[in-house]
Structure 1
Amino acid sequence: MRIAELRNHPFLLLVLKDGESEGYFSPELVDKIKQQLIDMSLRIASDNLSIIYADQINKGCEIVLGITNLGLLALCDNDTDKAKTIIKTQGIVYCFRAGWAKYAQLKTISPSYFDSIAITTYALSVNDTADISARHANLIKEGYKSAKLLDVYKNIAATYCASSLLIDNDEDVLLFELQRYLNSALALLLIDSDKKVFTSSLYQAFNSYILSTKKELILEKIQSSIVTLTGQLSILTKSYLQEIDLLGFSEFKSIINQQVDVAIHIQEILELPITVLNELHDDFEGGYDFHADDEDDIAYLRPDEQ
């Protein structure tokens, strides 16, 4: 893209301008290219934006420019002479289709990720010298990361999810739930359980352990349990979870280290079955909630004031 940066226009426009000024492109070809670009812009605006508003039509033109530019760069490898030959022999629509094929690569990585990327991301204005190839490469990279997150999430959830699995496409939600699954796996290892999901008795055992054991001993066992847990993961899964910093268990360690309402805070970061959660929040059904709602319970039992 160096030539574009030097001359302050997208590569495609520079090639068209040079080809026209050099007489390499005939006036008839130039007119045909202009008409095809207009037609494609209107089609893009009609399918993805709106042809009612002028600014939307302009945006359609910028999208066509960006995608065609991407395709031409992929075909000619930034070689202007080769680019002019491609346009003259194959046509501008051929370049657009090559760019569209690059754009469609996002869908092959992850349909949900593809849907999250607005087509306007590929728009280029006439004075835009941004490297559209680098932009696309970065989107591809992010797409693979998104797909990997979903793959790892499904893998971990299959073992540690305590309820029906409903997959959210929001990456923040996936990361939050993935950390909860891992926290629960770690918590079960702390009480030397080989189970993957908490039961009421297991949670009582875990709760007793964190309340009756010195924090130094708990933190020490956390470290050894992390080693055990990571040893159960595949190399690729372990590497990915380390990369996104989910195997540090910082929040888990912080709750233990602070020793403030540990039993209340720890349950918020764990994946617990609904039966266990019901017991934790319903004193009068035989469960326990560490007295978190005693005032409400007492108020409920008092007779109405006359």
Structure 2
Amino acid sequence: MKIAQLRNHPFLLLVLKDGESEGYFSAEFMHKTKQQLSDMSLRIASDNLSIIYADQIKKGCEIVLGMSNLGLLDLCGNDTEKAKSIIRDQGIVYCFRAGWAKYAELKKISPTYFEDISITRYAQGISDTSDISLMHGTLVKEGQQSARLLQIYKHIGASYSANSLIIDHDEDVLTFELQKFLNTGVALLLIDSEKKVFTNTLYQQFITYLTGTEKDVLHSKLAACISRFTEQLSATTKTYLQEVNLLDFNDLTGIINQQENAAMYSQDILELPMTVSNELNNDFDGGYDFHADDEDDIAYLRPDA
């Protein structure tokens, strides 16, 4: 992209301009190429934008330029001589298709992430010298991160989800729920439980332990439990969770620092079964749950002594 930055135009336009001035591209070829660019721009505007407004048609032209530029750069490896040969022998539509194929890669990496990437992100004006290959590479990395988040969410959720695992397309929601799964795994270790899901009895045991134990002891055991929990994770999963700061466990640290409010805030940071949440919030409705937590239900229904 250095040539584009030096001469203040996208790489593709410079290759066309140089090829024309050198006689590499004939006048007839240039006319055909310009017509193809125009036709593709109208098609893009018609399918994705609007052909009623001039600014939308202009945006369609910029999208075609950006896509074609991306495709040409990928095909030629930033080699201007090779680029001229590709345009002459394969045509500008070939370059556009190559660029579109790069754009479509995002859908294969992460369909949900792809839905949020507007085609206009690939638009380039005639004086735009930004590195579109670098921009695309950044989107690919973000898509891979999105796919990784979903994969890890499903994997961790398979063990620690207390209710039906619902896949939300909002990454903030997935991250929030994943943190609750992780918090739950460590919280259960804090009370020396090998279970993966809280029952009402285990939850009450957790609250009792938090409120009745010295903070220094709690912090020391929390560190040990975090270490034990993370040792169970695969290296790639652990690395990802560290990169996105989900292994800091600041929520649990905060609960310990304000242990007098443990009962108030713990529900917000842990993954709890619906039955436990209902009981804690006094909205137990006695629905049949296939004996999933009979012990807790009976304890809840039994009159106080």
TM-score (structure 2 length as normaliser)? 0.91
Task: Give the AA of the match of 1:175.
Answer: T
> Equivalent residue for 2:203?
203
Q: Which amino acid is the alignment partner of residue 179 of structure 2?
A: Q
Match for residue 112 of structure 1?
A: 112
Task: Indicate how the Cα distance of structure 1 residues 46 and 283 shifts in structure 2: closer, same or farther if over 3 A, else same.
Answer: closer
Partner of 2:254: 254
Q: Is 2:93 the partner of 1:93?
A: yes
SS in 1 for 2:20: helix
Instruction: Tell me: CA distance 1:283–1:120, structure 2 relative to 1, closer, same or farther (3 Å).
Output: closer
What corresponds to 1:157 in structure 2?
A: 157
Q: Aligned residue for 1:295?
A: none
The correspondence of residues 144-293 of structure 1 with structure 2, limited to 5 A, is 144-282=144-282
Q: Distance in 1 between matches of 2:210 and 2:2?
A: 61
Moved over 3 A (4+): 283-287
Q: Identity rate of aligned residues, in percent? A: 66
Partner Cα distance (1:285, 1:164) in 2: 19
Q: Which sections of structure 2, spanning at least 5 residues, go unmatched?
A: 287-295, 297-305
**How does the TM-score come out when normalised to structure 1?**
0.91
RMSD: 1.5
One-letter code aligned to 1:90: Q
1:290 aligned partner: none
Q: Which runs of 5+ in 1 are unaligned?
A: 288-306
The alpha-carbon deviation at position 21 of structure 1 amounts to: 1.5
Residue type at the aligned position of 1:191: I
1:300 is aligned to none
Q: What is the rounded CA distance, in whole Å, between the counterparts of 2:282 and 2:218 in structure 1?
A: 28
> Aligned partners of 2:53 and 2:100: how far apart in 1?
24
CA displacement at 1:110 relative to structure 2: 0.9
- Structure 1's 45 and 81: CA in aligned 2 closer, same or farther, altered over 3 A? same
The amino acid of 1:264's aligned partner reads: M
Matched, 1:39 2:44: no
Residues 211, 259 of structure 2: 8 Å contact kept: no
Structure 1 residue 283, shift from structure 2 partner? 8.1
Q: How many residues align?
A: 287
Q: How far is 1:258 from its partner?
A: 2.9
- Evaluate the alpha carbon distance shift between residue 284 and residue 165 of structure 1 in structure 2; reply closer, same or farther with a 3 A threshold: closer
Q: 1:249-292 CA distances to partner (integer Å, 9 max, x unpaired)?
A: 012102211334121012211111111111111189899xxxxx
Residues 1:142 and 2:116 are matched in the alignment? no
Q: AA paired with 2:233?
A: L
Give the aligned partner of residue 292 of structure 2.
none
The whole-number CA distance in structure 1 between the counterparts of 2:85 and 2:229 is: 58
Letter in 1 for 2:266: I
Cα deviation for residue 20 of structure 1 reads: 1.2
Deviation of 1:177 after TM superposition, in Å, equals 0.5
Taking the aligned partners of 1:120 and 1:163, their CA distance within structure 2 comes to 39
> 1:204-255 CA deviation, whole Å, 9 max, x = no partner?
1111111111111111110111111112212211121112111110121022
